[in-house]
Amino acid sequence: MTTPFYTLGIESSCDETAVAILRGERELVANLIYSQAQMHARYGGVVPEVASRDHLRKLPYLMRDALVEAKIDTTDLSLVAATYGPGLVGPLLVGLSYGKGMAFGLNVPFIGVNHLEGHIFAQRLCSSEVIPPFMALIVSGGHTSLVDVASYGEYHLVGMTVDDAAGEALDKVGKMLGIGYPAGAEIDRLASQGNPTAINFPRPMSGSPGFDFSFAGLKTSVLYYLREHPREKREDVAASFLASVVSVLAKKAIDATRRYHRKNLVVVGGVAANAHLRERMHADGNARDIDVTFPAVEYCTDNAAMIAAAGAYHHLVLEESHPLSLGPQASLSL
């Protein structure tokens, strides 16, 4: 019997400290996430210095608990994978240094993972049915990008936001509505109780050619609307604003999938957890003969399972590893 290949995954690019252990390429044997969100909520957003310190405090305990959950010892680990960008440089540095230290101490290979590629691998963890080539929409707090996935490891950027990311706009509008950070999930819930046609917010870039997005103007429209209508039902504002975001994302993503002659569209990242987006994308995909898939909700937001999966693939299939001199890259792209 061959010894199993265990990959340790570490994610610390923003305000989630996460550790996961993967057996082989896809079998998850531990997956732990500690969210610092509550700690940052009082500042209305992530404070990088506070985040770094908390990753440093939490990582050793998560590591211990992950090994217990996986019922293995550190010496059973075959590979260490850690996010090296994009993200906040201090928080990245903590997880990356920890991972490199473990790889050095255990004398196993190390691989740095691009967080955005990690989000794409969340889909691979959840289903073996969708394989490249496909179109991917990455919608998170920091990114809104359309990426043509020719194969795992070969990505072509098709479009991206020219200003705010979709999740960033959701979080900022959430603040205007008095919702704590992060606001996406709460806007999702509020919107279910409101009328999406109550207010006619703009659909930015919807009619323009190309596949870029813009959400800053929409966010400002909501700000002005709330100033003029301070008594408007929050549920209706949330529903109407979300309807606009969802409509633009769905239109551009489906159009791009067709333009690139792909049959599958994969939607990943924290905003992909949104129930309204999931419903609308499925409906639009059905109408245009495109299969739209999402990872399970718990793998949409930041986690280390997706980092371990991307790392294991790069090492086992593409036969890659990184030197221990690899540093954090805050603006890393795909």
Interaction residues for ligand KG4, span 150-169 (CB under 6 A): 167
214 binds, among ligand KG4, Zn ion, none (CB under 5 to 8 A by kind): none
183 is an interface residue for ligand KG4 by CB under 6 A: yes
Q: Which of 83, 140, 144, 240 binds Zn ion (CB under 5 A)?
A: 140
Cβ closest to Zn ion, residue 199 vs residue 249: 249
Following DSSP, what letter does each residue of 264-326 receive, concatenated?
Answer: EEEEESGGGG-HHHHHHHHHHHHHTT-EEE---GGGTSS-SHHHHHHHHHHHHTS-----TT-
C-alpha closest to that of 186 among 171, 198, 165, 205: 171
Q: Are strands 264-268 and 291-293 parallel, antiparallel or unpaired?
A: parallel
Q: Which residues contact 271 (CB under 8 A, 6 or more apart)?
A: 139, 140, 141, 144, 166, 167, 170, 184, 249, 277, 300
Q: Closest distance between ligand KG4 and the C-beta of residue 30, in Å?
A: 19
CA distances from 95 to 82, 148, 270 (A): 7, 29, 20
Smallest gap from residue 286 Cβ to Zn ion (A): 28
Strand order in the sheet with 134-139: 154-160, 144-151, 134-139, 264-268, 291-293
- Identify residues 250-289 at the interface with ligand KG4 (CB under 6 A): 269-271, 273-274
Q: Does 171 bind ligand KG4 (CB under 6 A)?
A: yes
122, 301, 304, 334: residue in contact with ligand KG4 (rule CB under 6 A): 301
**Residue 15 CB, nearest approach to Zn ion (Å):** 10
Asked whether position 114 contacts Zn ion by CB under 5 A, the answer is no
- Start-to-end CA span in the chain (Å): 38
Q: Is position 54 an interface residue for ligand KG4 (rule: CB under 6 A)?
A: no
Binding flag, residue 240, Zn ion (CB under 5 A): no
Interface mask toward ligand KG4 for 104-143; x: CB under 6 A = ------------------------------------xxx-
Binding residues for ligand KG4, rule: CB under 6 A, are 14, 140-142, 167, 170-171, 182-185, 188, 269-271, 273-274, 301-302
